[in-house]
Amino acid sequence: MSSMSSVFATVAYTPPDAIFELTKAYQADPDPRKVNLGQGTYRDGHGNPWVLPAVEAAKDIIKNCDHEYLPILGHPQFRKLVTELVFRKDSSAIRDGRVASCQALSGTGALHVAGMMLRRALGHDRTVYITNPSWSNHRQVFESVAFSVREFDYASRDGIDMESLLRALNEADPMSIFVLHASAHNPTGWDPSPEQWRQIGAIMKERQLFPLFDAAYLGLTSGDYDQDAYAIRYFAEELDLEMGVCISFAKSMGLYGERTGLCAFVSRHHKVASNVESNLAQLIRGEISNPPAFGARIVTAILADDGLSSQWRSDLTTMSSRIAGMRNQLFDELTTLGTPGDWTRITQQKGMFCVLGLTPEQVHLLKETHHMYMAESSRVSIAGLNEGNVRYVAECIHQVVCRTGE
């Protein structure tokens, strides 16, 4: 190697993450009319970040805590309370000691740990199936731990493409891993009905497929945590399946920057769960050595206190109701304007996101002409809408759609 060459000479430039770049461009835009519909973070009715009242109260409770290390697997009470929240305290999986868990760096960290654990359990020659479209990080996370990732078409114009989904389930090799969005599918907002979940679960059980739930929006989708956790509990209790669940409190408690999550596996026996948990501890030790404490303490303070838990469920209703209200208002505005196209999807889809069905050209025009920022797929974060901008957004969409003749 010459003295002028670099160790990193073969490393190619990697383009930046599209959504974070969109936020950067939005922040640099001086126009007062600008609207950010890109990043999936909850905003209040004035477009500002919102610290949940339950979180404010919990911070007050833990303000005098120390800053010592947690155990490698994470805050013990956090793990216990979150597991009970997700699966239900009286679930047979918890009663029988069949749940292995570890604290993780929010949803992404939970998925990565789950990927490492499944790679260790199943080897590298298994395939991870993800929806098309899916959250942009899914492919990257599982390819980073050397899994082969395949996509199956998930959405049609009117909802879930069940034909494609069932075909993927029926054609996959046994012990293939399917990443399932527990609720508020990102980015489409189309969720299976309970009947469709039962159909999916029956095939997964029959064909020995492994479900891995990405559960980033539990409680925020409908405002009811139990309703949003339906598929997870059905697969664990009724179908008695081994499975993984990746939990995040970024959205449901607004703890975006605290990176607070849980990775949990339901296994066949208590002894298997114990072995899995010992491996999770080893993986965490090698990855981050020790998980961050602050967010876990906040979650624990809320879930351990009946009053704060009640407040949190009220906060979830506040957020989900505002998002649902904005969906209805955007639909009403577009309908009143007579905007060409079928906009019923806006009110039919669930959760924080909605894919509007605009072309990349229309998305580009909205950004350049009207200072409106959204993903190229026309996925919008409904939480970015409020009383002050929803009419402007509808009018701009109307103008662009009419102008491009779509």
Burial of 210 (0-12, 13-18, 19+ CB in 10 A): buried
Chain centroid to CA 387: how far? 26
Q: Active site includes 251?
A: yes
Question: Closest by alpha carbon to 383, among 216, 244, 251?
Answer: 251
List 50, 161, 197, 251, catalytic entry: 251
**Separation between Cα atoms, residue 289 and residue 281, nearest integer Å:** 9
Tally helices (H) and strands (E) across the chain: 16, 13
Q: Which amino acid is it at 168?
A: A
**Separation between Cα atoms, residue 390 and residue 235, nearest integer Å:** 39
Q: Which amino acid is it at 60?
A: D
130 membership: H or E segment, kind and range = strand 127-132
- Decide if 350 contacts 9 (C-beta within 8 A): no
Q: With both helix axes pointing from N to C terminus, report the angle between 106-122 and 270-287 in degrees, rounded to the nearest 10.
A: 120
Q: Active site includes 312?
A: no
What is the rounded radius of gyration, in angstroms, for the C-alpha atoms of the chain?
22
**Separation between Cα atoms, residue 184 and residue 28, nearest integer Å:** 30
Q: Active site includes 190?
A: no
List 214, 228, 312, 367, catalytic entry: 214
List 135, 190, 197, 312, catalytic entry: 135
**262-275: b or e for each residue (b if 16 or more CB lie within 10 Å)?**
bbbbbbeeeebbee
Alpha helices, DSSP H only, in 250-380?
Answer: 270-287, 294-303, 306-337, 345-348, 360-370
> Residue written as tokens 């800053």?
67
Query: Which residues are catalytic, by number?
Result: 135, 214, 251
